[in-house]
Amino acid sequence: MLRSALLNVMIKAARKAARTLNRDFGEVENLQVSLKGPANFVTSADRRAEQILREELSTARPGYGFLGEESGRYEGSDKTHTWIVDPLDGTSNFMHGIPHFAISIGLEREGTIVAGLIYNPVNDDLFTAERGKGAFLNETRLRVAGRRRLADSVIACGLPHLGRGDLALGAREIAAVQPQVAGLRRFGAASLDLAWVAAGRFDAYWDHNLSPWDIAAGLIVVREAGGFVTDLNGQEATPTTADVLAGNEMVHGEMLKTLKAA
């Protein structure tokens, strides 16, 4: 498959960072772990992976800005481009030895995400998208699922937990959605939840309190696969949208009604 120079840069950086993540995942029990907040672990693996991504991306595109979960924001000399990076999305999974986590890289150009990559280094699932060029899982073009009814849909979500999120709202939302759908899932990596909507594995996904690095890449991967990504009022999501709903047109619309009423 012929890929653009831009995607090649992103893929090379992700594969290099993935090598250290995979090594650290193999030794997860020996990792030095520090607490950033309740249930919010920062591992040395996060930081190492982000360092590699920053070096690789800034060597290939000097001047672009960088916003990373671990190291924060760096202004570049080129004010029109910013990499938005989560070096390890799904930290709790990683820490618990659950092989469901990803590297997420979005490229923002003048406020719009123009390229995205989401890579699970354990199973080698590589999701990519560029504006106007479609979304792919490895070499295969992606299209959101065609299901039209909630009754046939498998829906992914985030869940509030100790020290994080609005437990009462979460309980109301689950109570509203649960009886209407074929299945609910909470897999714990926002970037992969979005990628899996793009791949038609999930019919929709919603979550609260997300950060730009959780969704930057996912926004374009879902949209290039023909899906919708909005806030919970139905407005187009941007990287700074915290409460997010993604899905195909029909299921997205049904979920929006259900969540608004919760």
* Helical packing angle, 249-261 and 167-177, nearest 10°: 130
> What are the φ/ψ torsions at residue 244 (nearest 5 degrees)?
-130, 140
Of 178 and 209, which CB lies nearer to ligand IPD in the complex structure? 209
Of 104 and 128, which CB lies nearer to ligand IPD in the complex structure? 104
Nearest-CB residue to Ca ion? 89
Q: For ligand IPD, which residue of 52, 65, 66, 91 counts as binding (CB under 6 A)?
A: 91
**What single letter denotes the amino acid at residue 136?**
F
Q: Which does 209 bind (CB under 5 to 8 A by kind): ligand IPD, Ca ion, none?
A: ligand IPD
Q: E strands along 55-165, which residues? A: 64-68, 72-74, 78-89, 102-109, 112-120, 125-130, 134-137, 140-141, 154-157
Choose the binding region for Ca ion from 78-86, 143-151, 199-207, 241-249 (rule: CB under 5 A).
Answer: 78-86
Of 173 and 214, which CB lies nearer to Ca ion in the complex structure? 214
CA-wise closest residue to 248 among 217, 204, 205, 189 = 204
Residue 91 Cβ, how far from Ca ion at the closest point, in Å?
5
Q: Give the contact letters, 174-193, x = binds to Ca ion (CB under 5 A), - = no.
A: --------------------
Contact status: 218 vs ligand IPD (CB under 6 A): no
Is residue 255 within 8 Å of residue 203, measured between CB atoms? no
Under the phi-then-psi rule, with left for phi > 0, alpha for psi from -120 to 50, and beta for the rest, what region is 154? beta
Contact status: 232 vs ligand IPD (CB under 6 A): no
DSSP reduced 3-state for 81: strand
Residues that bind ligand IPD (CB under 6 A): 86, 89-91, 158, 188-190, 207, 209-210, 214
